[in-house]
Amino acid sequence: MKRPPPAWIAVAVYVLALLAGAQVRVATAEQQQPAALGGAVPTPAPFPSPVATAQGAASPAPRAVPTAPTGRRLAAFAVVARRIAFYSNRYVMEADGDVAITLGDGTRITGKTFFYDLRLNRFVIAGGVRLAAAGREIDGAAFAEYFDFDRAYFVPVLSQPDRWTFASGDYAHPLFGREQPGDTFFLPDLSGERVFLYARRAVVDPHQSVRFTPASIDLGPVYVPFPSYFLSYSPNEYFAQNALPGAFVDGPLDFAGGEHGLATAHVRYDSVDHVFPALELHQVGENHYLVVAANTLTRPLKTYNLEAYDRITPGLQFTAFLQETAFGHGFSQPLSATAFASYQMTAALPHSFLQLGDVQYYQSLLARPSTMSGGTYYYGDPSHNFVPDHPNTVSLTWVGFRHPLNGLPISFQLRSSFGATDDSLTPLQTLGGVTYTKEYYKSVGINLTTKTFTLLADRSGRHRELYFTGTVDKQRQYFSLPHHVDTTIATVSLTKVFNPQVTLLTNYSNVNTGDFYGAQQVLAYPPGASYFDFYTGKTLILSPGFRGFGTTRSFAQSLVWTPSQVFTSLITMRENRDFPKPLPGALQLVGDGLGFVNYGASPEQLDLDVRYRFTRVLVIDVERSYFFNFGGFERWTPQFSVQVEK
Amino acid sequence: MIELVRRAYALIMFVALLLATTGPFASPPVAAAAIPTPLEPAVMETPPPLSATATPSPSGQLVKYSGQILDYSGGFVFFTTGDAFRLDPAVKLDDAATGGPTKLLPETRTYARASFDSGSGAVVELALSQKKLPDEASYDDVKRFAVSLSTPYANPDLAPGEGFNGKGVPVTFLVEVPPKTPFADQIYLATDASGWSATAVRMDRVDALHYRVTRTFASGTKLLYRYTRGSWQSADVDQNGIATKPRLLVVKNADYRVVRDIVYNWQDEDPFAPDNGSTLPTPFNPVPFPIPPHR
């Protein structure tokens, strides 16, 4: 292989050619690829600017600076400026006045104006730019860094402007004149956008987070100063996992974090506890997360939640949810404390999967108190009586994949489970004078679903079809007591699309549940029996005619109106016919909000759901239901939420 | 005779070529270091009208181009195209709206309408504005005036056919949900572009088992997304019971695209307990704690 000429010969020829007035095309490292592959090309001097050499008297010579240490060039970088503004609606950071950027490898760029698009992970700095890298300083008009492509683009000003491209952080070997992307130095138009925060310094971890210090944050009418603000925008979806219970209004403030962690303070409001603070901590990895939350910290009843997930292998995962509630003033000895724990291990099998689950409830985490009144023990206040119950359920479930039935437009899915429930302190059930503290059960179930049939096709191509779908779900659960529970659910749905904005849905379902005790049926369901609701603490009187067999028929009609991408609305009217007669329940926290846990459905129910997206980060979602003819419990559900998205 | 015609044709072509390179139709000579070789033939089809204030050289016409200033220094004005244009020593600065004096400075972010003297290639007038100005000449009309030391050459990173053109592509997500999905529940798309909000994009119901939504993305967009029923406790789960990894959508150059997905299970779905809700208050509940009391 022919040995390429030394670099100094090339430079000398280049200079002579320029002095002679010739227009010389600079041979770039890329163009010299064959020689470079030979590994025999010596490293030329940094910034081998031919013009600067040729017309040294006319242009300032590059100034030497201490050689920047080699570091993680594409890792975190710092921005300092007289003013940094962050536009949360556009995920763009803007800096003005004496802007100084320090990259991970020590490369330093200064200029007047800076823009960084957090999602595209690229920045541009413009106006009186000075680049200090590879032991040299050089002035220019603008500099752009595309982290994801490991390319930097520079407009240097020597005797004349030029266009340089740096590949892979090789500042010593610019690619002279290489064509640059058309929008390299595009400055975003942010007029009309509201600034979420102002800061003086920002440390950016690309694709992960930004820490702003000090931060003045937009809280509506005013910008409130904070020592710092930590913005996490990681592509890892586990950061979005939420362990806090629901609230009407939730205002999160991330204050610390990193690539694998995030700490968030919340100011929340609901109708029970009003305004209160909460705290949530995330620890995430590529295949796991751990979220810890403390809620209602300034109220006597505090809630502590923990959610954990680990994908141990691609076919094996573990999830856990732990909750402790403690009633106490401040953080002193609580008067009562309960806990709930749920663990689940899922293993993928060929055409099916297995789930091993364990659910435990600790009625009291406290030791038995010495105070006793009326036969019950309590701490401080008899209303917080000591209940040492500890029921526990273990189950092993097998679920098959959904398969089509040969030749029919129907698919089926099978499932089965085994399990045991016990409570050694309080018997699970007493029947015929016999107490049962432990129960075993097994179940099988099948789900049949039709494919979607197009009853009326729209030949105009405007998608105004009429669709039909039906499902039947049948399950039998055997208990060691012995008795068995049969459940059959049949559902048919019709959907009519009027136009892309308006859709009407109707749904009819019939749910039959039977608890079969055979000869002991009346013994198990005596007339006028009462049932103690574990959650609400209330005793419910069952319907006199109830013998363990119930039916609910439900007819629902929904109108979906989506006039635009920012506004959607859903109105649902339901008619329910229950046997036994439904019993209104109490208000309590369920899911992500407060709700009434009713036994049975109200005869008529109206659901309204309106959602409007004001900006990319602000969504108002109003979701309420009204119960009609509900035994004097006609009322609105309290669901209402204001959502602020990051 | 034929030979005579052939020689006459050759003579005419020679004279035409001579006139084109040295005569009044040719571009004026400029310093080799100042003006690079034009990228395209310097031919103006329809010269725009002369400015009231700026005066081109005797051999030139005025070409007006509007853009945003990147920098203004060293006798050059830089636009956000990355191009540097030489300033005429007597360059005039004025207000783009009135044509009179301006308090604006030609600095980064300011919008400007530059009047180029097609003869010298220099900017003889800069009309400044804080708002974007309408285009008068295309970038192709002025890029030949851009000053650059190095001869431009093609960038293999930008080779046609291998990249994305960045044009908006309407993408329709059509998802089939499991039959046990509660009738009144909403289905949402959670995406990395929306901070993984579980309710980022609400989908429209097509029928009992299908939901649909259309969003427009620039080609080249990479989007990670998952389906939820409004919370991360009700996110999608794969057919094998394992939580779904975010699905990746790479928007390629196209007029329209449909993405068809299937959600097999929901995370909060109890596979062996049919959704009989709380319709039946049995004295003995075989699953005593289906809902944590404070979740």
Beta-bridged to residue B36, according to DSSP, are: none
Q: Which residue of B has its CA nearest to A128?
A: B71
Angle in degrees, CA A404, A408, A414, rounded to 5: 35
Q: Average pLDDT of B170-193?
A: 88
Of B149, B231, B287, the CB nearest to A393: B287
CB A454 within 8 A of CB A463: no
- Chain A, chain B: beta-carbon pairs less than 8 Å apart: 338
Tell which wins on pLDDT, A167 or A382.
Answer: A167
Q: Average pLDDT of A431-454?
A: 88
The answer to whether the CB atoms of A607 and B264 lie below 8 A apart is: no
**Extents of the domains making up chain B:** 62-145, 168-266
With beta carbons under 8 A apart, name residues in chain A contacting B190: 237, 240
Q: How many residues can be counted in chain B?
A: 295
With beta carbons under 8 A apart, name residues in chain B contacting A321: 292, 295
Query: Looking at CA atoms only, how far is residue A410 from chain B in angstroms?
Result: 12
Q: To probe the interface with B, which of A148, A150, A160 has the most B CB atoms within 10 Å?
A: A160
The answer to whether the CB atoms of A240 and B196 lie below 8 A apart is: yes
Q: To probe the interface with B, which of A15, A237, A387 has the most B CB atoms within 10 Å?
A: A237
CB A360 within 8 A of CB A341: yes
With beta carbons under 8 A apart, name residues in chain B contacting A322: none
| Residue A21 scores a pLDDT above 50 | no
| Residue A14 scores a pLDDT above 50 | no
Give the CA-trace dihedral at B268, B271, B274, B276, to 10 degrees: -20
Q: To probe the interface with B, which of A33, A165, A176, A185 has the most B CB atoms within 10 Å?
A: A185
CA–CA separation, A465 and A140 (whole Å) = 62
CB A269 within 8 A of CB B227: no
CA–CA separation, A107 and A155 (whole Å) = 16
Query: Looking at CA atoms only, how far is residue A89 from chain B in angstroms?
Result: 10
Q: Average pLDDT of A276-303?
A: 91
The answer to whether the CB atoms of B184 and A646 lie below 8 A apart is: no
Residue in this structure with the two tokens 């008297």, named with its chain if needed: A57
| Residue A148 scores a pLDDT above 50 | yes
Angle in degrees, CA A65, A70, A76, rounded to 5: 105
With beta carbons under 8 A apart, name residues in chain A contacting B243: 309, 311, 317
Number of neighbours of residue B280 by Cβ within 10 angstroms = 25
Q: What pLDDT score does B269 carry?
A: 76
Starting at the edge strand found earlier in the chain, the sheet holding B204-207 runs: B204-207, B210-218, B168-176, B257-262
CA–CA separation, A512 and A237 (whole Å) = 40
**Extents of the domains making up chain A:** 7-63, 77-211
Give the residue from A450, A201, A136 showing the smallest Cα distance to B179.
A450
| Residue B243 scores a pLDDT above 60 | yes
Q: What pLDDT score does A479 carry?
A: 86
The answer to whether the CB atoms of B155 and A178 lie below 8 A apart is: yes
Query: Looking at CA atoms only, how far is residue B101 from chain A in angstroms?
Result: 23
Q: Report the CATH fold assignment for A77-211.
A: lipopolysaccharide transport protein A fold (2.60.450)
What's the pLDDT band for A56 if we cut at 50, 70, 90? very low
Q: Which residue of A has its CA nearest to B76?
A: A161
Distances (CA, A) of A620 to A249, A615, A644: 10, 10, 8
The answer to whether the CB atoms of A237 and B193 lie below 8 A apart is: no
The answer to whether the CB atoms of A245 and B84 lie below 8 A apart is: no
B71: left (phi over 0), alpha (psi -120 to 50) or beta: beta
Of B78, B80, B281, the CB nearest to A186: B80
With beta carbons under 8 A apart, name residues in chain A contacting B232: 240-242
Q: Which two tokens stand for residue B187?
A: 């289905």
Domain B168-266 has CATH 2.60.40.10: yes
Q: What pLDDT score does B8 carry?
A: 65
Most confident of A113-122, A417-426, A538-547: A113-122
Of A163, A354, A421, the CB nearest to B150: A163
Of B74, B109, B276, the CB nearest to A157: B74
Ranking A46-50, A144-148, A351-355, A581-585 by mean pLDDT, the lowest is: A46-50
CB B122 within 8 A of CB B88: yes
Contacts of A85 (CB under 8 A, 6+ apart): A93, A94, A95, A96, A195, A197, A198
Q: Which residue of B has its CA nearest to A349?
A: B240
Distances (CA, A) of A470 to A489, B72, B209: 11, 70, 10
| Residue A12 scores a pLDDT above 90 | no
What's the pLDDT band for A13 if we cut at 50, 70, 90? very low
CB B105 within 8 A of CB B46: no
Sign of the CA dihedral B219, B225, B229, B230?
negative
Q: What pLDDT score does A71 carry?
A: 45
What's the pLDDT band for B69 if we cut at 50, 70, 90? very high
pLDDT tens, position by position, A209-259? 899 999 998 877 889 898 889 888 888 999 989 888 777 778 888 888 888
Tell which wins on pLDDT, A549 or A48.
Answer: A549
CA–CA separation, A414 and A401 (whole Å) = 8
With beta carbons under 8 A apart, name residues in chain A contacting B74: 157, 161
Domain B62-145 has CATH 2.40.50: yes
The answer to whether the CB atoms of B153 and A25 lie below 8 A apart is: yes
Beta-bridged to residue A391, according to DSSP, are: none
Query: Looking at CA atoms only, how far is residue B211 from chain A in angstroms?
Result: 11
The answer to whether the CB atoms of A162 and B150 lie below 8 A apart is: yes
A103 three-class SS:
coil
Query: Looking at CA atoms only, how far is residue A222 from chain B in angstroms?
Result: 25
| Residue A490 scores a pLDDT above 90 | yes
Query: Looking at CA atoms only, how far is residue A600 from chain B in angstroms?
Result: 4
Query: Looking at CA atoms only, how far is residue B3 from chain A in angstroms?
Result: 40
Q: What pLDDT score does A540 carry?
A: 66
| Residue A22 scores a pLDDT above 50 | no
The answer to whether the CB atoms of A240 and B246 lie below 8 A apart is: no
| Residue A149 scores a pLDDT above 50 | yes
The answer to whether the CB atoms of B183 and A556 lie below 8 A apart is: yes
Taking the mean position of all CA atoms in its chain, how far away is CA A164?
Answer: 41
With beta carbons under 8 A apart, name residues in chain B contacting A399: 241, 265, 271-272
What's the pLDDT band for B16 if we cut at 50, 70, 90? low
The answer to whether the CB atoms of B76 and A469 lie below 8 A apart is: no
CA–CA separation, B220 and A334 (whole Å) = 56
Q: What pLDDT score does A262 carry?
A: 92
CA–CA separation, A156 and A174 (whole Å) = 11
DSSP letter for each residue of A36-53: HHHT-PPPPPSS--HHHH
Of B109, B279, B283, the CB nearest to A511: B279
Of B108, B281, B282, the CB nearest to A112: B108
Query: Looking at CA atoms only, how far is residue B13 from chain A in angstroms?
Result: 28
Query: Looking at CA atoms only, how far is residue B182 from chain A in angstroms?
Result: 11
Q: Which phi and psi (to 5°) does residue B161 adopt?
A: 90, -20
CB A49 within 8 A of CB A158: yes
Of A177, A325, A481, the CB nearest to B151: A177
The answer to whether the CB atoms of A127 and B240 lie below 8 A apart is: no
Of all residues in chain B, the percent with pLDDT exceeding 70 is 69
pTM above 0.90, yes or no: no
A363 three-class SS:
coil
CA–CA separation, A14 and B180 (whole Å) = 75
Give the residue from A104, A109, A107, A103 showing the smallest Cα distance to A68.
A107
Q: Which phi and psi (to 5°) does residue B236 adopt?
A: -75, 150
| Residue B271 scores a pLDDT above 60 | no
Of B73, B198, B276, the CB nearest to A141: B73
ipTM over 0.85: no
A403 three-class SS:
strand
The answer to whether the CB atoms of B278 and A524 lie below 8 A apart is: no
| Residue B36 scores a pLDDT above 80 | no
Distances (CA, A) of B152 to A81, B164, B258: 34, 22, 40
Of A177, A359, A646, the CB nearest to B289: A359
With beta carbons under 8 A apart, name residues in chain B contacting A503: 204-206
Of B152, B230, B278, the CB nearest to A177: B152
Of A126, A560, A578, the CB nearest to B205: A560
Query: Looking at CA atoms only, how far is residue A72 from chain B in angstroms?
Result: 23
Of all residues in chain A, the percent with pLDDT exceeding 90 is 32
Query: Looking at CA atoms only, how far is residue A429 from chain B in angstroms?
Result: 7
Angle in degrees, CA B199, B203, B204, rounded to 5: 145
Taking the mean position of all CA atoms in its chain, how far away is CA A362?
Answer: 29
Of B156, B264, B278, the CB nearest to A599: B278
Q: Which residue of B has its CA nearest to A150?
A: B157
Amino acid occupying residue B50:
L
Q: What pLDDT score does A551 carry?
A: 86
Please report which residue ranges of B104-260 form alpha helices under DSSP H. 139-142
Q: Average pLDDT of A318-323?
A: 93
